[in-house]
């Protein structure tokens, strides 16, 4: 629906050859690596962030690994 609304607003998008459309914030880290684990400056604060476009794909494995890590 969002891409269709964009085409209504800018008809040239219909012929732009868009094959894949992502809708979400970019979340790059400075070194282009995600953060997974306990925050170094805050004990007991666990993070799984910075996955950018692989977040949905990685979420199951990252969540399981983080849960095991916290539980250990």
DSSP per-residue string spanning the chain = -HHHHHHHH-GGGGGS-------S-----TTS--EEEE-TTSTT-EEEE--GGGHHHHHHHHHHHHHHHHH-
What is the domain count for the chain? 1
Give the pLDDT score at 44: 93
pLDDT at 69 over 90: yes
Query: How many whole angstroms separate alpha carbon 44 and alpha carbon 46?
Result: 6
Q: Which domain holds residue 26?
A: 2-71
Q: What does the pLDDT look like over 13-51, one tens digit per residue?
A: 889 988 776 666 666 788 888 889 999 999 999 999 888
Give the pTM.
0.54
Give the pLDDT score at 25: 64
Give the pLDDT score at 31: 86
């Amino acid at each position: 629906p969002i891409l269709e609304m964009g085409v209504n607003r800018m008809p040239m998008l219909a012929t732009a050859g868009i094959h894949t459309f992502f809708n979400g914030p970019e979340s790059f880290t400075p070194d282009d690596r995600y953060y997974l684990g306990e925050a170094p400056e805050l004990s007991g604060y666990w993070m799984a962030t910075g996955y950018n476009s692989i977040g949905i794909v990685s979420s199951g494995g990252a969540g399981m690994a983080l849960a095991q890590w916290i539980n250990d």
